Amino acid sequence: MREYAVLGAFLLVGIVLPAAVVIGGWLLGPKRANPVKNSTYECGLETVGETWIQFKVQYYVYALIFVIFDIEVVYLYPWAVAYNRLGLFALVEALIFAGILVAGLFYAWRKGALAWF
Partner 1 sequence: MLADFIETIVKILVVVVVLLTGFAYMTWFERRVIARLQVRIGPNRVGPEGLLQPLADGVKLFFKEDIIPAEADKALYLLAPMLAVVPSLLAAAVLPFGPDVTLFGRTIHLYIADINIALLYFLGLGSLGVYSVVLAGWASNNKYALLGGLRASAQMISYELAMGLSVLAVVMLTGSFSLVDIVEAQAGGRWFVLMQPLAFIIFVITMLAETKRAPFDLPEAEQELVAGFHTEYSGMKFALFYMGEYIGMIVISGVAVSLFLGGWQGPFAEQIPLLGVLYFFLKVAVFMFFFVWMRATLPRLRYDRLMQLGWKVLLPLSLANVVVTALAVVARDTGFFGLLG
Q: What are the backbone dihedrals phi and psi of residue 50, each rounded to the nearest 5 degrees, phi first? A: -80, 150
- Taking the complex as a whole, the smallest distance from the CB of residue 79 to partner 1 amounts, in Å, to 9
Does 39 sit near partner 1 (CB under 8 A)? yes
38 binds partner 1 (CB under 8 A): yes
Residue 32, CA distances (Å) to 13, 38, 69 in order = 32, 10, 49
Site string for partner 1, 47-86 (x = CB under 8 A): x---xx--xx--x--xx-xx--xx--x--xx--xxxxxx-
C-alpha 29/C-alpha 7 separation (Å) is 33
Burial of 47 (0-12, 13-18, 19+ CB in 10 A): exposed
Q: Output helix, strand, coil percentages for the chain, rounded to the nearest 5.
A: 70, 0, 30
Cα 33–37–39 angle (5° rounding)? 115
Using CB under 8 A as the binding rule, whether residue 112 contacts partner 1 is answered as no
Work out whether 109 is an interface residue with partner 1 (CB under 8 A). yes
Q: Considering just the CA atoms, what is the radius of gyration of the chain in Å?
A: 25
CB of 12 to partner 1, least distance (A): 9
Contacts with partner 1, residue ranges (CB under 8 A)? 3-4, 6-7, 9-11, 13-15, 17-19, 21-22, 24-26, 28-33, 35, 37-43, 47, 51-52, 55-56, 59, 62-63, 65-66, 69-70, 73, 76-77, 80-85, 87-88, 90-91, 94-95, 98, 101-102, 105, 109, 114, 116-117
